[in-house]
Amino acid sequence: MSVPGETILTVEDLKTYFYTEGGVVQAVDGISFDVRAGEIVGVVGESGAGKSVATTSILRLLDDAGEIVSGEITYRDTTIVGFEEAEEGGELVPRDDMLTKSEMRKEIRGNEIAIIFQDPMESLNPVYKVGSQIREFIELNRDLEGEDAKEEAIEMLREVGIPEPENRYDDYPHQFSGGMRQRVLIAMALGCRPSLIIADEPTTALDVTVEGQILDLVDDLRDEYGTSFIWVTHDMGVVAEICDRVNVMYLGQIVEQGPVDDIFHDTQHPYTESLLASIPRPDKTVEDLNPIAGVMPQAMNPPRGCRFHTRCPDAREACRDIEPRFVDVGEAPSHRAACLKHDDVGYWDSVPIENESRDGVVADEEPPAGGQETEAGR
Ligand SMILES: Nc1ncnc2c1ncn2[C@@H]1O[C@H](COP(=O)(O)OP(=O)(O)OP(=O)(O)O)[C@@H](O)[C@H]1O
Ligand code: SF4
Ligand SMILES: [Mg+2]
């Protein structure tokens, strides 16, 4: 049982690369974040930012081409990922205390950390009844069998708002709507009483009303069971609705992280500003929406300097050469961003870059008061 607020998962300087015929894809390149008991932590960014690779790395569910090359992932006192140097200055090798794949399967997946994907049909077997799939999952991960496991499966279906769960227990996945299938997956995950559920864009394919219902459900379940969630999404609107803290990812890195209120009302990174400007809102027309100009570069060949400089409306010459450090910013103690504006490295003295997203309006921007003396956060 977790103490509310205690840190249960820590990811430190994680790097996950894919070794392909075309070259090395730096899908996740040095990210750090943590999750506390009972909180919902967002991971947000455009397609290809590295959100899924980051979260599947936590469960070590990468395909054969993918490799965690360095970093640490700790779940409570357990080392999910940990390395040491084979000899001083030598290559990194897995530490002795790092779980084996079979230990991951037995000790972590399902019963401690569960994952829910965008397409429920990938996780549900179409030829088995929904109830028996939940029951089997509960039997695998908990000390319950037979009728007891069945009762618990029905109870979980009821918990996630499936009407007449005793009858729906015997239905097949295709007999449920998309939103109901996502509820079934949440029931399945929850039935194993994990401390953490990773949800990878589970509501993206649903219409807005059903999405809203599922987000409300998750919020209630978190309150009732104290379960933590990592919620992966490309939608800042979803982040605003359920997350406590958020990590904004761009091209394999976290560019801003902090409490949701601060990220929305004291935004410190131009990429986060761009994501916020592209949220549809009732008071905005389609013309008012401001999609981010340009496309994200390839993770195989990321730009030098700041990875966002090819699209950033505030980019200056310094951004082409200098990689921003992740530093404390804003008012909240855990608010951090990686932008040269917050680092004393000559950004404010250098010349603006003319790129696709710049309208020539920010060249005269003043440095923030005292803004060049920020504390290094890494
Ligand atoms: N199996 C793989 N082999 C090679 N490259 C991969 C593989 N899986 C992911 N990548 C690359 O890693 C990067 C990050 O991909 P990832 O799937 O994590 O993005 P994402 O943020 O989850 O995007 P989306 O919102 O589309 O789901 C991308 O450049 C992607 O092409
Ligand atoms: S470092 Fe430069 S390019 Fe990168 S986000 Fe900041 S202003 Fe934009
Ligand atoms: Mg993804």
**311 CB under 6 A from ligand 2?**
no
In which residue ranges of the chain is pLDDT below 70? 1-2, 280-290, 356-378
pLDDT score of 363: 42
Q: How much distance in Å is there from the Cα of 342 to the middle of ligand 2?
A: 10
CA 180 to chain centre: 23
Measured from the Cα of 324, ligand 2's closest atom is: 1
Residue 320, C-beta contacts closer than 8 angstroms, at least 6 positions apart? 303, 304, 305, 306, 309, 353
Q: Which amino acid is at 187?
A: A
Q: Which of 277, 258, 278, 237 is nearest to 329 (CA)?
A: 258
**221 CB under 6 A from ligand 2?**
no
Query: Looking at ligand 1, which residue's alpha carbon is closest to its atom 5?
Result: 18
> Distances from the Cα of 332 to the Cαs of 257, 266, 329, in angstroms?
11, 9, 8
SS3 readout for the chain:
CCCCCCEEEEEEEEEEEEEECCEEEEEEEEEEEEEECCCEEEEECCCCCCHHHHHHHHCCCCCCCEEEEEEEEEECCEEEECEEECCCCCCEEECCCECCHHHHHHHHECCCEEEECCCHHHHCCCCCCHHHHHHHHHHHHCCCCHHHHHHHHHHHHHHCCCCCHHHHCCCCHHHCCHHHHHHHHHHHHHHCCCCEEEEECCCCCCCHHHHHHHHHHHHHHHHHHCCEEEEEECCHHHHHHHCCEEEEEECCEEEEEEEHHHHHHCCCCHHHHHHHHCCCCCCCCHHHCCCCCCCCCCCCCCCCCCCCCCCCCCCEHHHHHCCCCCEECCCCCCCEECCHHHCCCCHHHCCECCCCCCCCCCCCCCCCCCCCCCCECC
Task: Using a CB cutoff of 5 Å, list residues around ligand 3, an ion.
Answer: 52
pLDDT score of 373: 39
Exposed, middle or buried: residue 161 (CB in 10 Å: 0-12, 13-18, 19+)?
middle
Asked if residues 38 and 227 have their Cβ atoms less than 8 Å apart, the reply is yes
**337 CB under 6 A from ligand 2?**
no
* Ligand 2 pocket test, candidate residues 256, 292, 341, most atoms within 8 A of CB: 341
Measured from the Cα of 25, ligand 1's closest atom is: 5
**25 CB under 6 A from ligand 1?**
yes
**51 CB under 6 A from ligand 1?**
yes
pLDDT score of 293: 83
**248 CB under 6 A from ligand 1?**
no
Q: How much distance in Å is there from the Cα of 252 to the middle of ligand 1?
A: 9
**234 CB under 6 A from ligand 1?**
yes
Q: How much distance in Å is there from the Cα of 139 to the middle of ligand 2?
A: 51
Q: What is the distance between the alpha carbons of residues 186 and 176, in angstroms, rounded to a whole number?
A: 14
Ligand nearest to the CA of 53: 1
pLDDT in tens, 172-224: 999 999 889 999 999 999 888 899 999 999 888 888 888 999 999 899 989 99
Measured from the Cα of 312, ligand 2's closest atom is: 8
pLDDT score of 368: 59
pLDDT score of 377: 35
Q: What is the distance between the alpha carbons of residues 299 and 337, in angstroms, rounded to a whole number?
A: 20
> Distances from the Cα of 141 to the Cαs of 117, 129, 162, 246, 279, in angstroms?
19, 19, 22, 30, 39
Query: Looking at ligand 1, which residue's alpha carbon is closest to its atom 7?
Result: 18
* Ligand 1 pocket test, candidate residues 46, 51, 53, most atoms within 8 A of CB: 53
pLDDT score of 361: 44
Q: How much distance in Å is there from the Cα of 294 to the middle of ligand 2?
A: 15
**315 CB under 6 A from ligand 2?**
yes
pLDDT score of 358: 63
Reported pTM: 0.91
**340 CB under 6 A from ligand 2?**
yes
